[in-house]
A and B are shown apart, each in its own frame.
Chain A
Amino acid sequence: MDNAWSESEMKRERLKILLPSLREKERYVRFKVISEGPIQYSDLEAAVWNLFLDFYGELGVSELSLWLIKNLWDEKNQTGVVRCNNKSVQKVVAGLGVVSRLGDTRVIFKILKISGTIKGLKLK
């Protein structure tokens, strides 16, 4: 087909960087998981996504711009960061409050900080 691009062409293809005023404003929510025992990132990811999809539905979650940031998960301190847009911070925090189990482990989410940048979360 004429419009079928080769792999090398596809790799070169990139979106232009949006103007700051056109970009979605992001918020980062840093949380701590208080639990009966240590928990794995995979359990956290599955539980959070399932809960949000159950609670807000697919359309609702699409409006949150929700993303769990894997490389900011601190297994030792059981802290993590979730990203969302600035208009849905309250929805995301409320949703995290509804998570009561990660697998078979009972948990409580404690919100540590909400910031517009990862740097603002003061991660060490």
Chain B
Amino acid sequence: MPVTININGVDHSIDATPDTPLLWALRDSLELTGTKFGCGMALCGACTVHVDGAPVRSCTTPISTVAGKKVTTIEGIGTKEAKAVQAAWEQHAVAQCGYCQSGQIMSAAALLQSNPRPSDEDIDQAMSGNICRCATYVRIRAAIKSAAASLA
């Protein structure tokens, strides 16, 4: 029985078992590969997407639980916070290998939506679920602050 999910504003009927993680529906069924596989256990944040505006780890989210909800991926993110975050990421040359950065940007955009002026502690708390093995953390902090300043 296909599951219908609204992804980036469009309804998609996905022909996969209900337990299929949203991550693999996005990547294998819809070819939206900007959302990354890192751990499969919601430990690294590389798969972060927004479900009804809130950051969610798609690798442990069965598609049956997001039927009828609005899913936004890095390919469809268009909020002013997300645009500011992406611009700040470029300005600070945050990305190195880049593999985790879709997830970092989705988490950062969600942070700014709920907290327009985050402190270092707020940033550390909101972003500690997103691992970056290149350790671009110093620039992530700086870029989030720049993005916040640009929106003020």
| Binding partners A and B | no
**Chain A residues within 8 Å of B, Cβ to Cβ:** none
**Chain B residues within 8 Å of A, Cβ to Cβ:** none
